[in-house]
């Protein structure tokens, strides 16, 4: 395949890749999802990532119909990358995309959950061994030697379940021989320490070369030692060579010239001949040793390839398993032709969960769900495909939208989700729109251009729209939002619309319902207490008296307090005073 045929590879990118890698290696890097190799050519990491996502199944990236959906997708991958055990695994996670079929989703779930179960079952000591093996793999830049040594370490740990089964049938003896040979060779040359005789020859050659470089000093030293004639000088030089180098007397005498004219000519001639003999012997020895190691590698080629592939796959699935385990994720179920639904039981927002904050699990459902038990005795009503979510400011409505978005994205990528149960219909378009505090015609037009076309196209669409009214005046906002809800119902899509304009949307189509989130008061620390679990078929109400109560209680001087008390009269002084009394009673307990 030509480089230009890959998405995002234009003439300039092609020129860079060919110059730095060559056509064949560049194609291989793209096909294998190798972000590091592409980035090392000077290509921006973000661009390399986008190219690889499209090249490795990214046709389903079109599911992400809005920039907010794409942002949520990137945020999820960043969270997963935090649990990667190797850099290569992190790169593979970064190029994960929504999958084409339900079977592909189920297959990846099988692998990830098997890895999760295997990792969870390991003792702490075994986990440390596994992580140490992958750490060494990264330190050696993921080379063949690094993969073979990692595979050996994993074999020695005795871990054979889940993804580790990939290395269970590799012979340890073959890997040990391969590791020795790989460690010995460097671009065809034999490394120091690989062969004792070769090291001896190289060391001896180095010593003789040093003596040759300082021949005049050596001659002066020998002459100052009291030699009387040529015979004494010859014997002293011979003794010095035998004591300072690892050569034999036969090698020395054979190297000594018979027709030297003076001491300089004699010493120089001897040392040059010794260097030539030693270099030739070292080259011959290195050639024989290299051939032996190359033969070993050829015989163990299959084991090496198996180790490289297995270590890569184990690291990838183990990284995703650690992510799933860290957030207590479970397998979602997929709804097929029998209906469309998004339902969650005890779902948690991953962003909040990763921050370390307390998370209130949420149960919510829309569409043809099978959830029978809700958070209250009333359960979850009906099979409405569209809901309007209302309630207090800072009440978790946006967080609920993000949670549903995260669960749908994870499920379509074949990954476990942060909920006790979840039902997801594989969708063709995810329209996620966060609240934007811009108020002009341009923002309204661009927003409508991004959210309406996916809804109007064929296929299953999920609409998650947050405070649409923030981008236009209230009267028009209510009319447009009512139109969006109606269009979502007419297109048989799924949708959750967060708004403060619920009363202005009546009457809604019967296929839609209104749910609400309620603030319950202030804590003794004057923090807003919210029940984040939506109440179904109930309009949530803003609770300004709680906010005003907090402002009154926290006022720093009398005039400021008087101003806030005036606001309290506007929202209901009795409610403000009752709230403050409740706070005082709670603080006294």
pLDDT digits (tens, 9 = 90+) for 210-253: 999 999 999 988 888 877 788 889 899 999 999 999 999 999 99
Instruction: Enumerate residues 6+ apart whose C-beta is below 8 A from 277.
Output: 251, 254, 255
pLDDT digits (tens, 9 = 90+) for 378-436: 567 778 899 999 887 766 889 999 999 999 999 999 999 999 999 999 999 999 998 76
Question: Which of the four pLDDT bands, split at 50, 70 and 90, describes residue 444?
Answer: confident
pLDDT digits (tens, 9 = 90+) for 2-20: 888 888 888 888 888 888 8
pLDDT at 281: 95
pLDDT at 414: 96
Cα–Cα distance list, 567 to 155, 206, 256, 526, 547 (Å): 71, 91, 109, 18, 10
Cα–Cα distance list, 226 to 28, 80, 216, 219, 507 (Å): 70, 78, 16, 12, 119
For the residues 482-511, what does the mean pLDDT come to? Answer: 89
Query: At which residue do the structure tokens 């009269």 appear?
Result: 569
Report whether pLDDT(579) > 70.
Answer: no
Instruction: Enumerate residues 6+ apart whose C-beta is below 8 A from 248.
Output: none
Instruction: Enumerate residues 6+ apart whose C-beta is below 8 A from 156.
Output: 129, 172
For the residues 437-441, what does the mean pLDDT come to? Answer: 58
Report whether pLDDT(587) > 70.
Answer: no
Report whether pLDDT(154) > 80.
Answer: yes
pLDDT at 6: 85
- At the topology level, CATH places domain 333-517 in Rossmann fold (3.40.50)
Report whether pLDDT(185) > 80.
Answer: yes
The more confident residue out of 242 and 527 is 242
**β-pairing verdict for 528-535 and 512-522:** antiparallel
The more confident residue out of 49 and 200 is 200
Is the sign of the CA dihedral 480, 485, 490, 493 positive or negative? positive
The more confident residue out of 556 and 154 is 154
Write the DSSP assignment of 246-298 as a string of letters: S--HHHHHHHS-SS-SSHHHHHHHHHHHHHHHHHHHHHHHHHHHHHHHHHHHH
Task: Name the average pLDDT for the chain.
Answer: 88
Residue 61, sorted as left (phi over 0), alpha (psi -120 to 50) or beta, turns out to be alpha
Report whether pLDDT(144) > 70.
Answer: yes
- Name the packing angle between helices 230-244 and 215-223 (round to 10°): 120
Q: How far apart are CA 426 and CA 407, in angstroms?
A: 11
pLDDT at 583: 58
Helix H, strand E, coil C: the string for 155-197 is HHHCCCCHHHHHHCCCCHHHHHHHHHHHHHEECCEECCCCCHH
pLDDT at 589: 57
pLDDT > 90 in the chain, percent: 51
Strand partners, 514: 388
**Would the pTM count as exceeding 0.75?**
yes
Greatest C-alpha distance within the chain: 123
Q: How far apart are CA 3 and CA 63, in angstroms?
A: 25
Buried b (16+ CB within 10 A) or exposed e, 466-500: bbbbbbbeeeebbebbbebbbbbbebebbbbbbbb
Q: What's the token pair of residue 294?
A: 């190359």
Q: How far apart are CA 180 and CA 294, in angstroms?
A: 11
**β-pairing verdict for 421-424 and 185-186:** unpaired
pLDDT at 377: 58
Question: Which of the four pLDDT bands, split at 50, 70 and 90, describes residue 494?
Answer: very high
Residues in the chain, how many? 589
Q: Where are the domains of the chain?
A: 99-327, 333-517
pLDDT digits (tens, 9 = 90+) for 322-358: 999 999 999 999 987 677 899 999 999 999 999 888 8
Whether a cis peptide bond, with omega within 30° of 0, leads into 507 is yes
pLDDT at 40: 86
Question: Which of the four pLDDT bands, split at 50, 70 and 90, describes residue 106?
Answer: very high
Report whether pLDDT(316) > 90.
Answer: yes
Radius of gyration of the chain (CA): 37
Report whether pLDDT(575) > 80.
Answer: no
Strand partners, 330: 417
């Amino acid at each position: 395949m030509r480089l230009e045929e890959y998405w995002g590879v234009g003439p300039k990118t092609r020129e860079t890749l060919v110059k730095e890698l060559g056509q064949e290696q560049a194609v291989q890097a793209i096909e294998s999802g190798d972000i590091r190799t592409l980035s090392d050519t000077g290509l921006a990491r973000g661009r390399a990532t986008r190219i690889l996502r499209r090249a490795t199944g990214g046709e389903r990236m079109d599911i992400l119909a809005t920039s907010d959906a794409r942002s949520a997708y990137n945020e999820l991958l960043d969270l997963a990358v935090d649990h990667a055990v190797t850099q290569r695994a992190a790169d593979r996670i970064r190029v994960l995309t929504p999958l084409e079929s339900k079977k592909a989703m189920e297959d990846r779930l099988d692998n990830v959950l098997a890895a999760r179960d295997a990792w969870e079952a390991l003792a702490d000591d075994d986990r440390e061994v596994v992580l140490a093996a992958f750490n060494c793999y990264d330190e050696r830049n993921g080379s063949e030697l690094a993969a073979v040594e990692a595979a050996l370490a994993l074999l020695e740990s005795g871990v054979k379940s889940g993804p580790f089964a990939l290395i269970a049938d590799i012979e340890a003896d073959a890997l040990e021989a391969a590791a020795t040979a790989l460690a010995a060779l460097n671009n065809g040359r034999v490394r120091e320490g690989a062969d004792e005789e070769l090291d001896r020859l190289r060391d001896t050659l180095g010593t003789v070369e040093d003596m040759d470089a300082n021949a005049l000093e050596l001659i002066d030293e020998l002459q100052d030692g009291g030699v009387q004639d040529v015979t004494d000088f010859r014997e002293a030089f011979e003794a010095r060579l035998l004591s300072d180098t690892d050569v034999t007397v036969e090698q020395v005498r054979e190297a000594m010239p018979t027709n030297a004219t003076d001491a300089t000519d004699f010493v120089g001639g001897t040392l040059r001949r010794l260097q030539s003999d030693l270099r030739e012997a070292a080259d011959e020895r290195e050639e024989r040793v290299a051939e032996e190691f190359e033969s070993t590698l050829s015989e163990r080629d299959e084991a090496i390839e198996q180790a490289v592939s297995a270590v890569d796959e184990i690291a990838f699935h183990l990284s995703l398993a650690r992510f799933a385990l860290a957030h207590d994720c479970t397998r979602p179920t997929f709804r097929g032709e029998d209906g469309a639904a998004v339902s969650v039981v005890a779902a948690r927002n991953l962003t909040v969960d990763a921050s370390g904050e307390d998370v209130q699990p949420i149960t919510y459902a829309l569409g043809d769900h099978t959830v029978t038990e809700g958070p209250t005795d009333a359960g979850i009503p009906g099979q409405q495909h569209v809901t309007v979510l209302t309630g207090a400011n800072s009440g978790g409505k946006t967080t609920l939208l993000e949670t549903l978005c995260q669960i749908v994205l994870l499920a379509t990528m074949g990954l476990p989700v942060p909920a006790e149960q979840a039902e997801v219909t594989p969708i063709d378009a995810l329209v996620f729109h966060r609240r934007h505090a811009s108020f002009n015609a341009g923002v309204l037009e661009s927003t409508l251009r991004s959210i309406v076309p996916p809804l109007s196209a064929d296929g299953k669409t999920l609409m998650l729209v947050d405070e649409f009214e923030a981008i236009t005046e209230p009267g028009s906002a209510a009319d447009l939002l009512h139109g969006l809800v109606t269009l979502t119902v007419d297109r048989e899509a799924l949708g959750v619309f967060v708004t403060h304009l619920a009363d202005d949307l009546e009457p809604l189509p019967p296929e839609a319902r209104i749910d609400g989130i309620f603030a319950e008061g202030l804590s003794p620390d004057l923090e807003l207490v919210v029940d984040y679990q939506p109440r179904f078929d109930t309009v949530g109400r803003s609770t300004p008296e709680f906010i005003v109560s907090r402002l009154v209680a926290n006022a720093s001087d009398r005039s400021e307090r008087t101003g806030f008390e005036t606001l309290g009269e506007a929202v209901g002084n009795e409610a403000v005073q009752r709230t403050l009394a409740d706070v005082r009673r709670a603080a006294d307990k």
